[in-house]
Each structure stands twice: as C-alpha cells, then as structure tokens.
Amino acid sequence: MKSVPSERILSVRQVAARFGVSTSTIYNLCQEGRLPHVRVSNAIRVAPEALEDLVGGGARSGVTYSAGPRPR
C-alpha cells in the first residue's frame, strides 16, 4: 500500500465540497465500496487519487465505478 502524506488526505467534508454533494453521499460511496478510503481512528479520509479514479472510471485501479447506465 502506498503512503500518502497526511496533508494531502481529504476529510469527508472536503470531498463533499469538491463534488458539491452532501457528506451523507460521500459516506454512502465509502460504505458501498465505490470510494476507496481509510479510517483514521473514528474518521474517514480519502486520498485525492481515489477521487480521480472515481471520476475517471477507475482506469488506474482496474475498478469501474458507475453512477448509472452508460450512454450508448
């Protein structure tokens, strides 16, 4: 597992602000396994690279994320 400098790890609140969604949405994405994250004590933290993977379709991780059906 790669080490990520702590100043680059984002809180759920920061991730929600970047996407313009509620923190509940981010917690749900984490719970569903669609947004890779780590727990630090009782807090969830997300690496910026995980956001890129989510938005970019998971190309780097080999995982495909989908918010709905793909356009044809």
Q: What pLDDT was estimated at residue 55?
A: 82
What are the pLDDT digits (tens) for 35-45? 999 998 999 99
CA gap 12, 22 in Å, rounded = 9
- Does residue 70 carry a pLDDT above 50? no
Residue 61 in any domain: the answer is no
Q: How many domains does the chain have?
A: 1
CA gap 65, 58 in Å, rounded = 6
Residue range of the domain that includes 32: 6-56
pTM: 0.67
CA gap 52, 72 in Å, rounded = 23
Banded pLDDT at 19 (limits 50, 70, 90): very high
Nearest to 5 by CA among 44, 38, 41, 47: 47
Arithmetic mean of pLDDT over the chain: 79
CATH of the domain at 19: 1.10.10
At 32, list the tokens.
């569903």
Q: Taking residues 29-57, what's their average pLDDT?
A: 90
Residue 28 in any domain: the answer is yes
